[in-house]
Structure 1
């Protein structure tokens, strides 16, 4: 990963891509201006959906020239960290709620050579985050309940992000927002202090690998709305 900065980064979620064309879809979104590529891993247990495992992550790694941002919505998480690291993840985010020993999980992610992310569900407060700030590179604030794409944005998370931004201070920690990001909600989060915006349906709508220009228009619209709110 490149050096730390707080510029707005758009991270399209491949959960909204054409599953039969992942390689082409990834190349298309990167060519159209994506900064990171967000990979939503779900286990059908911690969240009510089942998506990708390490073999898929490994298969798409060669197509990703930017940052592979792997979000593990799984429990238990520790037994799978090395596999996702070996598959090529740059960032691995685990959930605060996924197990009793999140400190150990974050240690394991960094020990595997990846940037460590901590994901927080909408119903969780920031109490559990304070003593972890010196071990993480990213906090992913869920602005929908994890498990499905295309859900409505939960506005109560705006204040959470403002509080989190104040707690982070000058530490080099990204604030990522995952869920319901559109040109309408992106500015709310950018103003609150977020810098990485995950968007699935809002990026992929209207386009395809044969017609990728709408991806670029969608990415530019989200970025412009977010930057204007800074």
Structure 2
């Protein structure tokens, strides 16, 4: 019965005739530092900020929840001194509760944790907000939005991974578009003030698909940092 409930929740709006919807929220671009030049990290942050990016997406990896190890609070603290952008910290770590305060103090504006990484998601949301940050929850591609049913009223953002987390440059998983669409309608139907962020394989083509499905915060790494014209790349993601 649990599986039936899960599928009913996730697929509630997938069979509506209207597949493209009007996006009322402006599109926010969040370049991922995972694809930046680590020898020139400060300069790369300035480049995307000057090119029009509103957020800087900072991936934090512990080598356990995902294979790589990446980005501690000291990097956030150093970059905070040179950037006015919103720092969007994505914790891909086990025991995320042990890292919240350090990243908040370092200058994070939004802290997102994976629902798969904790048994106490609601407590973590409260901890993030108490630390003065906006709270986000991330879901891997294989995790249903049903897991958010008791949490979505309390978060500021939901991050739907459109690739499996841990490595940059992966191919976009097409069936995540329906998941974005279902989440959008859950948020709209309940009149919630919650952003939908997507991360993984985002380029001009996939950006159009995820925006049409309801996403309004787009994380892109190699597409932006590998572009000969970063300003044009960012503009193309807005559609």
Q: Same fold (TM over 0.5)?
A: yes
Instruction: Tell me, in whole angstroms, the C-alpha distance in 1 between the residues paired with 2:181 and 2:200.
Output: 17
Shift of 1:206: 3.5
The match for 1:197 is 218
Instruction: Tell me, in whole angstroms, the C-alpha distance in 2 between the residues paired with 1:206 and 1:78.
Output: 36
Please give the per-residue CA displacement for 1:31-77, whole angstroms capped at 9, x wherever unaligned. 01111110011111000111111111111112221211000000110
User: Is the CA contact 1:37–1:64 (under 8 Å) kept in the aligned structure 2?
Assistant: no
Q: Which ranges in structure 1 are unaligned for 5 or more consecutive residues?
A: 208-213, 225-230
The match for 1:160 is 179
Matches within 5 A, 1:42-191: 42-169=61-188, 170-191=191-212
Over alpha carbons, which structure has the higher Rg? 2
Instruction: Tell me, in whole angstroms, the C-alpha distance in 2 between the residues paired with 1:195 and 1:121.
Output: 18
Structure 1 residue ranges (4+ consecutive) displaced by more than 2 angstroms after TM superposition: none
What TM-score does the superposition give when structure 1 sets the normalisation length?
0.91
Q: Which ranges in structure 2 are unaligned for 5 or more consecutive residues?
A: 1-23
Match of 1:39 among 54, 58, 75: 58
> The residue matched to 2:138 in structure 1 has which SS?
strand
**Does residue 227 of structure 2 align to residue 206 of structure 1?**
yes
User: How large is the RMSD of aligned CA atoms in angstroms?
Assistant: 1.0
**Does residue 234 of structure 2 align to residue 215 of structure 1?**
no
Please give the per-residue CA displacement for 1:80-103, whole angstroms capped at 9, x wherever unaligned. 100000000000000010111111
Instruction: Tell me, in whole angstroms, the C-alpha distance in 2 between the residues paired with 1:62 and 1:141.
Output: 29
The match for 1:227 is none
Instruction: Tell me, in whole angstroms, the C-alpha distance in 2 between the residues paired with 1:135 and 1:94.
Output: 14
> The residue matched to 2:136 in structure 1 has which SS?
strand
Question: How many equivalent residue pairs?
Answer: 214
What TM-score does the superposition give when structure 2 sets the normalisation length?
0.88
The match for 1:211 is none
Shift of 1:128: 1.2
Instruction: Tell me, in whole angstroms, the C-alpha distance in 2 between the residues paired with 1:183 and 1:199.
Output: 10
